[in-house]
Amino acid sequence: MAKNDMKQRVGAAIQTARKRRGLVQRNIADPLGTTVAAVGMWESGKNLPSTENLIKTAEILRVDPAALGRGEVVYLDDVGLADAEVISDPGPPPSGPMDVKVMGVTYGGDDGDFTFNGEIAGYVRRPAGIATVPNVFALHVLSDSMVPRYDPGEVIYCGGRDPIPGDHVVIETFPDQEGQVGKSFIKKLLRRTGSEIIVQQYNPPAELTFDRYAVKNLWRVIPLKELIGF
């Protein structure tokens, strides 16, 4: 494999594992005694970490170091792994078919994955069925917990009305620790009580409960039939 391809694979593996662990780049940089910018360069595939830093990064992310060195992610445990990452901000829809914004970023954010630089890096296409729906945003699916409904790498859209039982939802939780980001999970909403949100997971099949007071946001995933206008 070409060296540049290996850089890309290792960088993507580090980024995916970090985001699924609910960590920010500083959570890797500080224990390693390096900079957030350096971690950003690894994740973007511009540089490879040294063998020592790769092993330490694997320890922080609780993944197999040998697999990480091959650009693969093998989790040593699956405790609290997030299912999704937000790739656009909620907001009123501008005009045009490619109008769900993906904002440009710079490396070096002290308290997050990145710092917004105010520039638009690209767009996610807005399907015709939600052309006039405000406050729509997009997500990348990271895990296989909702296969066969949602596959890793798939782009899904959230917004529209408030979720009701039977909807697929994205649950954003508050961060576990200061300096981290909250994790997002894709599940099927079964019911809500005054203190709990009960959901269904497909893979492996399970019924899960979230503490309502640990949930920052609950968004409905817009189904395909609405996206295409039915």
Q: What is the structure's pLDDT at 152? A: 81
Between 120 and 161, the higher pLDDT residue: 161
For the chain, the residue count is: 230
Mark whether 61 and 104 lie in a shared domain: no
Q: Please, what is the angle between helix 51-61 and helix 3-20, to 10°?
A: 30
Query: What is the separation of C-alpha 69 from the centre of its chain, rounded to a whole number of angstroms?
Result: 22
Mark whether 218 and 171 lie in a shared domain: yes
Is the Cα torsion angle 203, 209, 214, 218 positive or negative in sign?
positive
Whether residue 79 lies inside any domain: the answer is no
CB neighbours of residue 230 within 10 Å: 8
Mark whether 114 and 59 lie in a shared domain: no
Whether residue 29 lies inside any domain: the answer is yes
Mark whether 111 and 34 lie in a shared domain: no
- Domain hosting residue 169, numbered range: 84-227
Strand partners, 158: 137, 221
Between 214 and 106, the higher pLDDT residue: 214
Mark whether 37 and 94 lie in a shared domain: no
Mark whether 61 and 119 lie in a shared domain: no
pTM: 0.64
Total of domains in the chain: 2
Reported confidence tier of residue 214, pLDDT bands at 50, 70, 90: very high
Helices (H), the chain: 3-20, 25-32, 36-43, 51-61, 65-69, 224-227
**What is the Cα–Cα distance from 114 to 118, expressed in whole angstroms?**
12
Mark whether 26 and 90 lie in a shared domain: no
Whether residue 75 lies inside any domain: the answer is no
**pLDDT by residue (tens digit) across 158-207?**
888 999 999 999 888 888 777 666 788 889 999 999 999 999 999 889 99
CATH number at residue 183: 2.10.109.10
Mark whether 122 and 49 lie in a shared domain: no
Of 13, 35, 69, the residue at which a domain comes to its end is 69
User: What's the burial of 175, exposed, middle or buried (CB within 10 Å: 0-12/13-18/19+)?
Assistant: middle
Mark whether 94 and 62 lie in a shared domain: no
Proportion of the chain above pLDDT 90, given as a percent: 41
Query: Is the pLDDT reported for residue 64 higher than 80?
Result: yes
